[in-house]
Structure 1
Amino acid sequence: MSGRTEAAVVIVAPMDLVWDMTNDLESWPELFTEYAKVEILGHEGETVRFRLTMHPDENGSVHAWVSERTPDPKSRTVRARRVESHAFDYMNIFWSYEERHGGVEMRWVQEFHVNEAMSYGDEEMAAHLRKNTAIQMAHIKQRIEEAAGRR
């Protein structure tokens, strides 16, 4: 069994601004509410390997993992995956960007399988991801639309 979520948001801003801001990994602590730090570990072609560190959770635990992200500016898509998965046997994320009436639709598809050693499963993780994705997408939308207004 595996889990899958899909979510989208329309950001009222030019495509280049949406693309540039969401693919500037070093600015993710300002773009996402959950990330405290991004550390770029290396590049191989278009693929970037990086470590994401979250803000402490309600128990004071700090979670971090290594991911890889490969943007394709021609197709306006990004493929990402966790390299250090911890809670997941795998976690893959597909980002797509499409021009929509006055804005850009940014879509995330997350496919994953929770490690059986965890106290929760794919369904619980999918529910958590859907809730958190809505929060993150709303914050990203706000930040990018604010930046577009300053242009």
Structure 2
Amino acid sequence: MAGHTDNAIVIDAPYELVWSMTNDIPSWPRLFSEYSEATVLSEKDGTVVFRLALHPDEKGTVWSWVSARTPDEATGTVRSQRVETGPFKYMWIFWEYLPTERGVRMRWVQDFEMKPEAPVDDAAMRQRLDRNTAVQMRLIKEKVEAAARSGRRA
């Protein structure tokens, strides 16, 4: 069995600002509340390989992993996958940016499968991802819209 999530939010800000802020990986600890670290490891042929680390959990464990991310500004899409999969058999993420009358519709599609020994199954991870994605998208929306109001440019 596999898991799938599909979430979107409209951000009332210029497309260029939404794109630049959400694709600036080193700034992610300030953009997302869940990340304590985002370190670019390499960049080659348009693909960025980077390490993300979460804030310590209730047991003090810091979870981290390496992902590869390929943004394509011409199509307004980003394709990403975990290189270090951890509890996942695989994790693929697709981001899409669509201009609308009310701003930019930012969409995240996540396709994954958990390993049999993972602490949660696909259904539980889907629920966790859907819950957390909504929180992170609202936070990003607030921060990008605040930057747009303050006159920040891409």
- Place the TM-score, normalised by the shorter chain, in its bin: over 0.9
Give 2:47's aligned residue.
47
Say yes or no: does 1:22 pair with 2:22. Answer: yes
Give the distance between the partners of 1:78 and 1:107, measured in 2 at CA: 10
* Deviation sequence 1:114-134 (CA, Å, 0-9, x none): 011113210000000000000
Match runs of 1:92-107 below 5 Å: 92-107=92-107
Scaled by the length of structure 2, the TM-score of the pair is: 0.97
Aligned positions, number:
151
Report the AA paired with residue 111 of structure 1.
D
Q: Per the alignment, in what secondary structure is the counterpart of residue 58 of structure 2?
A: coil
Q: Give the TM-score normalised by the residue count of structure 1.
A: 0.99
Q: Please name the residue that 1:77 is paired with.
A: 77
Structure 1 Cα separation of the partners of residues 58 and 100 of structure 2: 38
Matched letter for residue 149 of structure 2:
G
Deviations 1:26-77 (A, max 9, x none): 1000000000011111011100000001101122110000000000010000
Write the distance in 1 (CA, Å) between the matches of 2:112 and 2:96. Answer: 18
**Alignment correspondent of 2:88:** 88
Give 3-state SS (helix, strand or coil) of 1:129's partner. Answer: helix
Rounded to whole Å, the distance in 1 between the matches of 2:73 and 2:34 is 26
Q: How does 1:1-151 map to 2 (within 5 A)?
A: 1-151=1-151
Ranges of 4+ aligned residues in structure 1 off by more than 6 Å: none
Distance of 2:46 and 2:118 partners within structure 1: 33
% identical equivalent positions: 50
Distance in 1, Cα, partners of 2:36 & 2:20: 20
SS of structure 2 residue aligned to 1:143:
helix
Distance 2:27 2:86 in 1: 24
Unpaired runs of 5+ residues, structure 2, are none
Q: Give deviations 1:78-119, integer Å, cap 9, x for gaps.
A: 000000001100000000000112200000000000011113
